[in-house]
Structure 1
């Protein structure tokens, strides 16, 4: 149970509820133990009455009626406290489930970009849902029944020993066999449960990717192929689940067999002892039979509980693999003063660890507060890497330095730093919500007028107004309802409404026609004239109005200057400008 030790902090957090549940369990077992005592007492009274030869049954009836009434009352009280036990411990497990899911989710948010490159979305979802659910079964039912079983075992064995030690020893002889059997089966269950959960993650990942890429699958007519692959994965999952279920199914018959042996031992050994006079009262045997009967469910549940613990151990191990992983990007800074927007890159080089590709090679430049800088270059020249480093998606290493307002990026509080930037990514991501709420994502308290103004600045208001529900139109997953250009412009509106001091546009006009692009760029002049703006683009038309243009090639700066300066120099920018200008004229 090494992996499950991680959960001890939650038992400490809810210690009062946990201790109260234990106390309630003890009280419930005390009242439950009165039943065998009263039944044995009743049988002894009947035996004594028969031996006495007395014909008057009034006293016997009165005593039996009192015993029956007491059994009824004790059973009700024991049942009530058992109900309270469930309400206390099972509800506690729901609290732990809530806390653990939030902990996992928050940790997911803190983990770095490389983590999401290495792991599939379906696996992440499975660990926060299926695996946490398995762990809850340990914290709730498994812990509850374990406490109940331990207390009941202790109370019954003490009561049995107080009556007759020899008969107690004989009746508990099957227990060592039970213990060893549980040990062997538990190891098998742990292994099979781990395999099943891992396969379930694979199935979840496949399903998630299938639904996300359904348009591509339909376009290439791959439905049959994907369906066959899903059937194969489902078949593997079914076989692993059946294998696990078969192993778990051995517990029930094994428990019944061993309990049955205990019954036979009590009847045989107890009968022999009664015949020999070692037991004077036949009610003792009845008590022992009832005590063994009271052990049936705890012993039977012990196998089920053992299965739950092994499954939870396997699931918690999978959860711990992610929880114990440290984010590559650490929030160690404390500066939260308002950012003005001066950006400095000093001898910045960067090599991606996973591919060993050098994206940037000793580049330096400065962007003053309020300036607009355009960054151009071929695919793979390092444009997006500059933005990733600036937003601390990745961190620079060695002698490389990136500063904002004279402070290293790591000196700023990470959330304050990112909150000071409005970002329009190259691949815009929209949520399955209304267009209004997607734009408000940049500013939660934005008014309807502000939303419309931002949409007009992004030249997407006319499109939205043409929809039946206008700004209340619900978008499909990842904004599938909209075209590529519309998604980009809604994403731009989201950045506009945020009003951050630094605006970052990562090739966000690639799906927009030239005419619409010019309108948006002209709007940028009025909106962002006091903001520091970085535009990554493949189009000279989007860059020509910038205060400075930086041209990258293989991670190095090969050209730098204004549009008027660069258009007169031989090089990448002039060639690009002439090419795109001729394309526009020919169109």
Structure 2
């Protein structure tokens, strides 16, 4: 259970409720122990009546009194059992809530390399299925564990006090059961881990299949995907059946051993009664009730073992992520104002996952309010520059300064709050268009949203929908075309009104006329704002204050449109090619 030690901080947080739940559990079990002894007394009263020790009316009065005590104790036991569940099961829900929030918060702090190494389906499974398994440990396992322990502590000494010989023979099967449970639990732990890993694989497969359903349909891959799913389903069935086969041993073994205990009670008790070693046959009935009271606690030991083993396996998977530390850390707690000056000094950057060096010892300076375009072939390092400016990655060597301050010495949230980024692959949420634009400014009015939508030249498209700005988008904005998604994303950045704009080839899916209109609006909106534009089109770059051409991670050319167009090189060739294409 070493992995489950991580939950101790939550158990301490809710210790008052847990302690109250444990206390109530003990009280409920004590009341449940009243019934067997009074059943014994009731049988003894009947024996006294048969033996003419008491009269019929006295026997009736005694039986009525005992019945009322039994019923009253049962009702009180039921009441305290209800309160017990309200306390302990509720605590498990609180812990589930806290743990899910902790895992999700931790996910958000981890850097992009983490998401490149791990699949979305696996991340989802750990925050849902795995946390659910851990909740079973924090609630039902604790509750039934305390119930079982309380019953053993109270009942076993009571049995030895009343009839030591019968108690001894009755409890003989329990150590055997304990050894069997210990051996089986080790197997359960291994197989539970495999089941949880399979569920992550299945979640990943289905999530990718649903997200890529358009590609699957376009390439007629339905039979292949179905075959792969059948293979996964068979693997899951086999894995779950392996676990079920082990679990299936618990209840039959327990029922067998409890049955043996009942036989011992009847045989040994009957023999002692015949020999006059016990006063009443009611003691046999009392012990049979005791044995049956032990049936569920003993049976639940196996179930609890399974729950704990599953929770251990799940918490281990959760801990693997919780112990992973983000490489991008906020080292400055105080807010730092951002004006917009950006400087790269001999910056080199290599991606950890691919070991590709995207930037090689590049240096440049961008003054506040200046607009700079980055051009170059695919893989030249253009988008990497934008990622480094927003500190999604840290440089491998060299230094980036914002307002003459090293980027690591800026408050990370102040830096990112001062940036309005528009990626090439625009991501929109499954919400209304209005809320997707408002994502850039939570308190924005509808008039502000319409204004920026007009600047992004997407307003006319939006009002063409039946619900206009209240149109609900599909997953990842699938309701919109590629160009519409890019323009909604531009509107979102404009609404934020940041100090630094980062446009990553965000007009690649729009036609040239719309592009020119958007660029004109962007130029007016980004006056006095530092603007970095990544593009493959000269039309997006020619009106910027500076153009930097990259090749294989190095700066190939640098200057204004006029300067670069008047000298031979990559930029002039690209300009002439695109000019002829436009003509």
Range 120-129 or range 330-339, more displaced: 330-339
CA contact (8 A) 1:334 1:411 kept: no
Could you give the per-residue CA deviations for residues 280-309 of structure 1, whole angstroms, max 9, x where no partner exists? 332222221111111111111111111111
CA contact (8 A) 2:358 2:380 kept: yes
For 2:418, the equivalent position in structure 1 comes to 420
Range 289-298 or range 272-281, more displaced: 272-281
> 1 CA distance for matches of 2:411 and 2:147?
49
Could you give the per-residue CA deviations for residues 203-228 of structure 1, whole angstroms, max 9, x where no partner exists? 11110001101111111111111111
Range 28-37 or range 365-374, more displaced: 28-37
Task: Give the TM-score normalised by structure 1.
Answer: 0.98
CA contact (8 A) 2:338 2:414 kept: no
For 1:495, the equivalent position in structure 2 comes to 493
Range 184-193 or range 92-101, more displaced: 184-193
For 1:24, the equivalent position in structure 2 comes to 24
Which of residues 561, 564, 568 in structure 2 aligns to 1:563? Answer: 561
Please give the residue correspondences for 1:313-324 in structure 2 after superposition, counting only pairs within 5 Å: 313-324=312-323
Please give the residue correspondences for 1:536-575 in structure 2 after superposition, counting only pairs within 5 Å: 536-575=534-573
For 1:274, the equivalent position in structure 2 comes to 273
Which of residues 526, 530, 533 in structure 1 aligns to 2:531? Answer: 533
Gaps of 5+ in 1: none
SS in 1 for 2:536: coil
SS in 1 for 2:353: coil
The question of 1:254 aligning with 2:281 is answered: no
> 1 CA distance for matches of 2:573 and 2:198?
53
For 2:350, the equivalent position in structure 1 comes to 351
SS in 1 for 2:100: helix
Please give the residue correspondences for 1:394-405 in structure 2 after superposition, counting only pairs within 5 Å: 394-398=393-397, 400-405=398-403
TM superposition shift of 1:232: 1.2
> 2 CA distance for matches of 1:262 and 1:247?
24
For 1:59, the equivalent position in structure 2 comes to 58
CA contact (8 A) 2:113 2:352 kept: no
CA contact (8 A) 2:504 2:535 kept: yes
For 1:480, the equivalent position in structure 2 comes to 478
> 2 CA distance for matches of 1:393 and 1:297?
55
For 1:438, the equivalent position in structure 2 comes to 436
SS in 2 for 1:433: coil
> 1 CA distance for matches of 2:406 and 2:290?
72
TM superposition shift of 1:127: 0.8
Gaps of 5+ in 2: none
> 2 CA distance for matches of 1:348 and 1:39?
86
Could you give the per-residue CA deviations for residues 456-509 of structure 1, whole angstroms, max 9, x where no partner exists? 111111111111111111111111111111111111000000001000001111
For 2:158, the equivalent position in structure 1 comes to 159
TM superposition shift of 1:333: 1.9
For 1:42, the equivalent position in structure 2 comes to 42
For 1:224, the equivalent position in structure 2 comes to 223
SS in 2 for 1:160: helix
> 2 CA distance for matches of 1:53 and 1:29?
34
What CA RMSD, in Å, does the superposition of the two structures yield over aligned residues? 1.2
For 2:142, the equivalent position in structure 1 comes to 143
For 2:75, the equivalent position in structure 1 comes to 76
Could you give the per-residue CA deviations for residues 349-402 of structure 1, whole angstroms, max 9, x where no partner exists? 01112212111111111100000011111111111111111111111134x111
Distance 1:335 1:576, change over 3 A: farther
For 1:308, the equivalent position in structure 2 comes to 307
> 1 CA distance for matches of 2:21 and 2:415?
47
> 2 CA distance for matches of 1:216 and 1:177?
58
> 2 CA distance for matches of 1:295 and 1:356?
62
CA contact (8 A) 1:442 1:495 kept: yes
Could you give the per-residue CA deviations for residues 31-70 of structure 1, whole angstroms, max 9, x where no partner exists? 111111111111222223333466x311111101100010
For 2:210, the equivalent position in structure 1 comes to 211
> 1 CA distance for matches of 2:352 and 2:228?
33
TM superposition shift of 1:250: 1.5
TM superposition shift of 1:519: 0.7
CA contact (8 A) 1:335 1:411 kept: no
> 2 CA distance for matches of 1:28 and 1:200?
38
SS in 2 for 1:446: coil
CA contact (8 A) 1:382 1:554 kept: yes
> 2 CA distance for matches of 1:94 and 1:576?
61
CA contact (8 A) 1:174 1:262 kept: yes
> 2 CA distance for matches of 1:52 and 1:467?
94
SS in 2 for 1:550: strand
> 2 CA distance for matches of 1:161 and 1:571?
99
CA contact (8 A) 1:3 1:316 kept: yes
CA contact (8 A) 1:190 1:310 kept: yes
CA contact (8 A) 2:350 2:396 kept: no
> 1 CA distance for matches of 2:283 and 2:408?
77
For 1:406, the equivalent position in structure 2 comes to 404
> 2 CA distance for matches of 1:406 and 1:188?
60
Range 452-461 or range 406-415, more displaced: 406-415
TM superposition shift of 1:515: 0.9
For 1:341, the equivalent position in structure 2 comes to 340
> 2 CA distance for matches of 1:356 and 1:307?
43
CA contact (8 A) 2:349 2:360 kept: yes
For 2:130, the equivalent position in structure 1 comes to 131
SS in 1 for 2:375: strand
For 1:99, the equivalent position in structure 2 comes to 98
TM superposition shift of 1:178: 0.6
